[in-house]
């Protein structure tokens, strides 16, 4: 026995098994999740609905199918030494909770109507939106993504260049700083009347508003990052013969990238807020427009479906931005969690 093992035992510590052994062991929470989803499927398909919902059987089948997959994964992990992915194994408790939440949601809406209709839609009503109204919902998602991507990229690019210029040049900062402090803190939605009057189309006006909401935090954080670079970095580069171009591109900008990404994260959240408001006010397609249309027709299931898609879209884009940050700033990977 090694001295390291003896010291661990003397300290009263218990060595954990290797990661591979843990992943290949019996997945108990997966079995619980399989049982929970099977119970939700039986309740959904067995209890009568208060109304003629067309997707109850499909919802029950989906829940039963997920239960079968979880059962296969949990049994396979034990009998066939099947390796359950670490993220799936860690989400076992959430899978149980989601099954219980679905069953409770089904009971208070479709089975006993505890919550008032039509303001609270049932799970199969949302499923019906995705199966029947997917062309309009999918088109709205695509148009929202195009509008968001255009405005966000423009705002991020302009904000980055302006932030670097202000942080590097005192002359530019002298003229730009007061204007930035005056205009920047204003909510982008406050410019709605001017934007829809000044621009030739609602699409271009919405793009401007999203770019404005994105550009301010990117500018401020980029400016702060460039201005806060350690002066010793510049001195070392100058002693090696670096010119102004090299100092900006190879010293200032790389050192300021952590602050730049913070501005990009803040700008993405602000751009989503402006996106919804702008689409409700002017455009004829998009998730904001879809929600406004659904509310006007009292189609609350469609509205909740749009909210769910918007939440998935937002968290997906933030996740992609985090992946980009971890790739470009490998030395800071894991410092900011999402």
CB environment 140-155: b (16+ within 10 A), e (fewer): bbebbeebbebbbebb
Is residue 12 over pLDDT 50? no
What is the residue extent of each domain of the chain?
A: 15-117, 134-332
pLDDT in tens, 254-284: 999 999 999 999 999 999 989 988 888 767 7
How confident is the model over 141-183, as pLDDT tens digits?
A: 999 999 999 999 999 999 999 999 999 999 999 999 899 988 8
Please give the CATH superfamily to which domain 134-332 belongs.
MetI-like (1.10.3720.10)
The Cβ of residue 16 has, within 10 Å, a number of other Cβ atoms equal to 8
Q: Given CA atoms 40, 41, 47, 53 in this order, what sign does their dihedral have? A: positive
Q: Taking the mean position of all CA atoms in its chain, how far away is CA 286?
A: 18
How does 165-178 read in b/e, with b if 16+ C-beta sit within 10 Å? Answer: bbbbeeeebeebee
Lowest-pLDDT choice from 6-15, 132-141, 221-230, 307-316: 6-15
Inter-axis angle of helices 134-168 and 202-227, nearest 10: 40
d(CA 164, CA 259): 12
Q: Which helix (H) or strand (E) holds 26?
A: none
Distances in Å between the alpha carbon of 53 and those of 124, 140, 159? 7, 25, 50
Gap between the Cα atoms of 334 and 338, Å rounded? 9
pLDDT of 7 higher than 80: no
Cis preceding-peptide flag for 249 (omega within 30 of 0):
no
Nearest-angstrom CA–CA distance, 24 and 73: 11
293 and 147 in contact (C-beta within 8 Å)? no
Residue 127 neighbours by CB distance under 10 Å: 19
pLDDT of residue 337: 67
pLDDT at 14 over 50: no
Whole-angstrom distance, CA of residue 334 vs CA of residue 266: 18
Can you tell me whether residue 146 is helix, strand or coil? helix
CA angle 231, 233, 239 (to 5 degrees): 105
Cβ(209)–Cβ(151) under 8 Å? yes
List, for residues 61-102, the tens digit of each pLDDT value: 999 999 999 999 888 777 777 788 888 889 999 999 999 999
């Amino acid at each position: 026995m090694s001295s390291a093992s003896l010291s661990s035992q003397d300290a009263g510590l218990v060595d954990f098994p290797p990661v591979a052994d843990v992943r290949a062991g019996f997945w108990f929470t997966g079995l619980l999740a399989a049982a929970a989803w099977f119970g939700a499927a039986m309740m959904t398909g067995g209890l009568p609905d208060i109304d003629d919902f067309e997707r109850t059987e499909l919802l029950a089948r989906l829940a039963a199918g997920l239960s079968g997959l979880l059962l296969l994964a949990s049994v396979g992990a034990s009998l066939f030494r099947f390796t359950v992915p670490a993220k799936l194994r860690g989400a076992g408790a959430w899978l149980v909770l989601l099954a219980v939440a679905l069953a409770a949601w089904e009971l208070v809406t479709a089975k006993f109507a505890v919550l008032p209709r039509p303001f609270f839609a049932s799970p199969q009503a949302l499923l019906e939106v995705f199966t029947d109204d997917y062309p309009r919902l999918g088109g709205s998602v695509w148009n929202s993504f195009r509008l968001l991507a255009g405005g966000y990229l423009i705002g991020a690019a302009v904000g980055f260049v302006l932030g670097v210029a202000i942080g590097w040049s005192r002359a530019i900062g002298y003229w730009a700083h007061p204007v930035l402090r005056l205009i920047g803190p204003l909510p982008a939605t406050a410019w709605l009347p001017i934007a829809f009057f000044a621009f030739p189309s609602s699409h271009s006006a919405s793009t401007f508003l999203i770019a404005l909401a994105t550009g301010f935090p990117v500018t401020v954080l980029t400016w702060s990052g460039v201005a806060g670079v350690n002066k010793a970095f510049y001195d070392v580069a100058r002693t090696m013969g670096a010119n102004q171009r090299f100092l900006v591109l190879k010293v200032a900008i790389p050192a300021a990238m952590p602050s730049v990404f913070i501005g990009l994260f803040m700008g993405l959240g602000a751009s989503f807020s402006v996106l919804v408001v702008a689409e409700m006010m002017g455009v004829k397609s998009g998730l904001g427009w879809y929600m406004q249309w659904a509310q006007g027709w009292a189609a609350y299931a469609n509205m909740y479906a749009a909210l769910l898609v918007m939440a998935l879209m937002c968290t997906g884009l933030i996740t992609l931005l985090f992946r980009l940050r971890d790739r470009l700033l490998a030395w800071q990977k894991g410092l900011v969690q999402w």
